[in-house]
Amino acid sequence: MTAQVAPPQKPSHRTRNIVIAVAVVLLLLAAIGANGGSKTATPSATPLAAASVAASAPASVAPAASVAPASEAPASVAPAPSTAPAVVAPKTLLALSGSGIKNSKEFGASGDSVDLAYTFNCANFGGTGNFQVMFYGASALGPTLPDILANALAAKGSDTTTEYLNGATGPFHIEINSECGWTVKVTGTP
């Protein structure tokens, strides 16, 4: 029987591939450093294209064009229009006053939240009284559970509280439950 001789192994390209990868990374880092760390990229720049551009770029980089100070700018240049969204001032969505139990009419709101400012005074009741405000709303999923915006047991009081709408636009209504005299005002974006 004849002994079989194993075919010679192909030379490994591992070392060559590592050297090429390191060279590409160094060229990319050199290109970024020469660009002054600018974060702008050209739309057609790919790692391979960037490496070839960096390899052919001269070692020195020309300084950026100087910009004239504002005092030397032409007088006919108009400022750019503002792209900030317009801020809508909150409006009164509901205002009530009275005593005892009351359900409000329905109202809508389009912002992130509404504010409820209230006062109550139980002097006519004869001392300490209860004051509650419940907020009822609806969303695309249907009616929501009421949220307690105020629940006080005192002779008098006042406060402002915020109700977050979580994307709901209404219809909303509030229910006031008190034996005291009270005022309630809801403000927000209609």
For 138-183, the pLDDT digits (tens) are 665 666 678 899 999 999 999 999 999 888 888 899 999 999 999 9
Element (H, E) at 79: none
Decide if pLDDT at 88 tops 70. Answer: yes
Q: Per DSSP, which regions of the chain are E strands?
A: 91-99, 102-103, 113-121, 129-136, 138-139, 142-143, 147-154, 156-164, 173-178, 181-188
Percentage, residues of the chain above pLDDT 70: 62
For the cut 60, the answer to whether the pLDDT of residue 47 exceeds it is no
Residues 109-127, mean pLDDT to the nearest whole number: 90
Instruction: Provide the whole-model pTM.
Output: 0.53
Query: Can you tell me which residue has the tokens 């992130």?
Result: 112
Whether the pLDDT of residue 32 is over 90: the answer is no
Residue indicated by tokens 């009419």: 105
The pLDDT value given to residue 62: 47
Query: What is the overall mean pLDDT for the chain?
Result: 76
Alpha-carbon Rg for the chain, nearest whole angstrom, is: 36
- Pick the most confident of 75-79, 115-119, 126-130, 134-138: 115-119
**What pLDDT shows up at residue 26?**
76
Beta 102-103 vs 181-188: how paired, if at all?
unpaired
Q: pLDDT value at position 56?
A: 47
Q: State residue 76's pLDDT score.
A: 60
**Tell me, what's the pLDDT at 95?**
96
Q: What is the pLDDT of residue 7?
A: 62
